[in-house]
A = this chain, B = another copy of it.
């Protein structure tokens, strides 16, 4: 599905930015790069900055005009840094990603269009785009590096795509859930609090005749910590060992089990 998205770079000056854009695309699962009249390509600098995304550079499509780059696209989204004379449908990067997803889910092709490093897209080029996209930069320093802009839009597309697929946006573990990820249950936590309280009494830290708010404060602390079963085993182990000390049992070295 993501292969229906093409990234179009118009009249890029610096080949390093072409390489950086290719790397950003590949990181985010995009693969199709179209260059409109690049000033210096192919170039060893592009290859260096691509840092392994050489397959994208190898299959790049070089054309002479934006019109050629957009052939077959049902929607073109052009990045724009400044307010234009003619108001145009304007999206932020997240809305841009939503729009991309809507189209590629219908098997339509989509173009993300990026302009020149210093001058952006011309008004004529922008008017060939159905939507304009603005990355919400600080107005006092608003011009992003070209590869950085490709990174932001590609990232938002990937986030939207993962969500549309029902895939997690975080790494999923393949292994079964370990003790370190299972949360303790409320009853296990109560057993711990009982164990903790009796131990604190035994070591003379908690006076049962005048307990004040000590246990409440400890409950508040552990309650909000989201303790795992493994961590609970550790805490209970500490209490058990403390109690042994109180009872004067001989200390014996135990195998490392945490």
Q: Which residues of A contact B (CB under 8 A)?
A: 20, 23-24, 26-29, 49, 51-53, 82-83, 86-87, 90-94, 134-138, 141-145, 147-148, 151-152, 155, 158-159, 162, 168-171, 173, 178, 180-181
Q: A94 with B138: in contact, given A23-B145, A144-B24, A145-B20 (CB under 8 Å)?
A: no
How many copies are assembled? 2
**Residues of chain B within 8 A of A91, CB atoms compared:** 170
Contact B135 A155 (CB under 8 A): yes
Contact A138 B51 (CB under 8 A): no
How far apart sit A82 and B148, CA to CA, in the bound complex (Å)?
23
**Residues of chain B within 8 A of A87, CB atoms compared:** 173, 178, 180-181
How far apart sit A20 and B61, CA to CA, in the bound complex (Å)?
27
Contact B137 A27 (CB under 8 A): yes
Q: A27 with B143: in contact, given A90-B171, A136-B169 (CB under 8 Å)?
A: yes
How far apart sit A144 and B26, CA to CA, in the bound complex (Å)?
9
Contact of A83 among B142, B155, B169, B173 (CB under 8 A): B173
Residue of B nearest to A89 (CB): B226
